[in-house]
Amino acid sequence: MHIDVLSLFPEMFTGVLNTSILKRAQERGAVTIAVTDFREYADNKHKNVDDYPFGGGAGMLLKPEPLFAAVEALKQASGKKSHVVLMSPQGAPYTHQKAVELGTHEHLILLCGHYEGFDERIREYLVDEEVSIGDYVLTGGELASMVVVDSVVRLLPEVIEHDSHDDDSFAHGLLEYPQYTRPADFNGMKVPDVLLSGHHLNIEKWRREQALIRTAMKRPDLLLNVELSDEEKQFIEPYLK
């Protein structure tokens, strides 16, 4: 998989892409990631990429020419089927399922905005979809694109052990169950006996129950998309707020 990020501030990505799992994923050849300053594609001598909005209003808008030229160049250089994503507070809420879906593309191009917004033709004619990481506004799309890159890459084959993310929160629609490590007794705070029993069926049953409880108490909205047995529906009833 190849990921291109178009940003006016590529230096922001240095630490993120060169540490931890993202660094190892690139070293293993699971993914290649490049960050390009799309100011390089500006068609004026001052390399301006923004201008005032027609009709007036506060702020500046990103011009269409540099981004259209940059995306076309990246598509041609890749030679793969490309999927263009605009990081935008107007986009669909980002989810685990969306991370899985984006990971199926051969080539991702992420567009990071700045200033007041984008010329509408970028949104209408250049991108395949818009993604939002939350109902708030950032100074730019860089941080949002880092979230997308991290969440997509960690799910790619051979990046981390499959079991490490198979039970992640949201992987199956529920929040993750509680987990413990040594010591079994820390200052009188003990690990649940079932986890020390070695009885795998009981452990799995406990983990499912705990995931249901945690989801019911913290994110009951998620349960609307989870298939539950009649027994499980009765089980979580006392925990629903």
The pLDDT of residue 58: 83
Mark the ranges of the chain whose per-residue pLDDT is less than 70. Answer: 162-171
State the CATH number of the domain containing residue 46.
3.40.1280.10
User: Which CATH number goes with the domain that contains 228?
Assistant: 1.10.1270.20
pLDDT tens track for 12-61? 999 999 999 999 999 999 999 999 999 999 988 889 999 999 998 888 99
161: left (phi over 0), alpha (psi -120 to 50) or beta: beta
Confidence at residue 76, expressed as pLDDT on a 0 to 100 scale = 97
Residue 168 has what pLDDT? 61
Helix ranges (DSSP H) in 64-199? 64-78, 96-102, 120-121, 142-153, 162-166, 193-196
pLDDT at 171: 65
Cβ atoms of residues 187 and 207 within 8 Å: no
Active-site residue (options: 130, 167, 168, 232): 168
**CA–CA gap between residue 153 and residue 36 (Å, rounded):** 19
Q: Which residues constitute the domain of residue 219?
A: 172-239
pLDDT at 241: 74
User: Which of 116, 129, 130, 167 does the annotation list as catalytic?
Assistant: 116
Give the active site residue among 89, 150, 208, 232.
Answer: 89
| 154 included as an active-site residue | yes
Known catalytic membership, residue 89: yes
d(CA 69, CA 129) in angstroms, rounded, equals 18
Residues of each annotated binding site: 113, 133-138
Query: What is the pTM (predicted TM-score) of this model?
Result: 0.89
pLDDT, residue 164, reads 56
For strands 107-111 and 2-7, give the pairing.
Answer: parallel
> pLDDT, tens digit, for every residue of 157-170?
989 876 655 556 66
Boundary-marking domain end, from 143, 162, 181: 162
**Same domain, yes or no: 210 and 111:** no
Residue 75 in domain: yes
Whether residue 129 sits in one domain with residue 11: yes
Query: Is residue 167, in this structure, part of any structural domain at all?
Result: no
User: Does one domain contain both 133 and 189?
Assistant: no
Q: Write down the pLDDT at residue 57.
A: 84
Domain count, the chain: 2
Same domain, 135 and 202: no
CB atoms within 10 A of CB 64: 18
Check whether residue 132 and residue 226 sit in a common domain: no
Residues 206 and 156 in one domain: no
Query: Is 112 found in the same domain as 65?
Result: yes
Q: Where is the binding site for S-adenosyl-L-methionine, in residues?
A: 113, 133-138
The CA distance from 217 to 236, in Å, is: 9
